[in-house]
Every structure is written in structure tokens, then in C-alpha cells.
Amino acid sequence: MSNPVALVHGFATSSARTWGDNGWLDLLADAGRTTIPIDLLGHGTADTPHDPAAYDQMEALVAAQLPAEPVDGIGFSLGARVLLTLASDAPERFGRLVLTGVGANLLRSEGSDIILRAIEGEGDPANPVVQYFAGLAQQPGVDRAALSACLRSARPVLTPERLARVDLPVLVVIGDKDFAGPGEPLVEALPQAELVTLRNVDHFATPKDFGAIDAALDFLGASL
């Protein structure tokens, strides 16, 4: 029997928007896979605390929603980072991982100041990154203060030693126009990783890109 598939969205969005609206949930269901869409703390249907310290529990809250048996995981951006963090702590809980919209950014020390400024209504409005995240912060039902608190929290550091513990099949999918790239440094830090680079695709288009969807489904053995 195939593993259930846990799906974790990116920053400032939700499972409904990332995985539902873009067809991932329907395609996985059509392939006979059970899905576990998870909303991160501060997002979607999850609680939205305004204290940055509350987000220290983000990974633990995701882990608590996983079944006892191993799952496959698909994550985008922040969701990919959360899944990778969990797999570095407990690789036995996962069969395969698909990490989209992440790459060398996970190995860099600099923070997300430009995104924080965008969420808080600052930054250069001509910058496409600022435009994108400022637009997400203005969507109905989005709690801007919760997003700000999430960004101000400290995420676990993914050191090379920690990544080396993720000894399971991993697919990294990233666009060649993605500010989070390139993907090679992350793939090289993981014991069993392979890379798919999407041509002429930026960070924001990745979840709806057919190449990303096809690569993920094929990797999980869920292609139709």
C-alpha cells in the first residue's frame, strides 16, 4: 500500500490555495493516494498567534498531524523547509520527499528582511518579490500580524550535518528564475537527492507549473 502524502504550503498562503486550487489534491486522489493537507501556524485554518515565540512550535504542530506510519511529503518554500527539518530529526517518518521552491537559500545565513518589509507594507513596490508578498498579505482572511510574527521567529538551522541525516529519496524541484536557487547546493548536501530545474519558471509560478506537478507525481509513483 502506498504511503499517505502530506502537503505543506509556503509562506503567506494555505493548503487550499497551493494544493487545492492548483489541482494537486485532485490529481493525487485520482492516483489513489490519501492526502494530508496541512496549514502552517499563522496560515489558512490554523491558529494565528501574534507572538513570534509561538512559532517555535511550527514544526512540532506539523509533526503532530502526521500519522504513526511513514508518509511521503510535498512541500513548497516554507513548507518544504518544515518537512526537511522534520525529516532531519526523524527520517524514519518519511518515505519520499518532494521539495519545491527551495535550494541554496536553505543554506544561506541571511534572513527574509525583504519579505518582512513587504508584509508590513514597506519595501520597493517595483520589486517583484515585494509585489508578490504584499499582494498575498492583502488577500481576504490573511492575518498580516500573524505573518509578521512568523517571519520574526527563529527557524531551525539546516546545517550540512543535519541535512546528511535525511537519508531517504528526495526530489528538489526549482525554477531557473527562482530567487531561492540554484538547487544544486541543496541536492549535494542530501544523501539521496535528485534535481529537476524548471525552465523560465520563477518562485511564485512553481506550484502551478505542470512540469513541477508531473515531476512530483512521477517521483511519488502517482502519475496517471
For every residue of 166-194, which 3-state class applies, written as one string? CCCCEEEEEECCCCCCCCHHHHHHCCCEE
Report pLDDT for 70.
97
Give the model confidence (pLDDT) of 60-94 as tens digits.
999 999 999 999 999 999 999 999 999 999 999 99
Q: With pLDDT > 70 as the criterion, what percentage of the chain qualifies? A: 98
Least confident of 139-148, 173-182, 213-222: 139-148
pTM of the complete model beyond 0.85: yes
Q: How confident is the model at residue 111 (pLDDT cuts 50, 70, 90)?
A: low
Least confident of 48-52, 122-126, 203-207: 122-126
Report pLDDT for 198.
98
Report pLDDT for 223.
61
Q: Are 19 and 2 in contact (CB under 8 A)?
A: no
For the segment 186-209, the average pLDDT, to the nearest whole number, is: 97
Q: Give the largest Cα separation in the chain, rounded.
A: 50
Q: How confident is the model at residue 155 (pLDDT cuts 50, 70, 90)?
A: confident
Residue 106 is classified by DSSP as G
Decide if pLDDT at 134 tops 60: yes
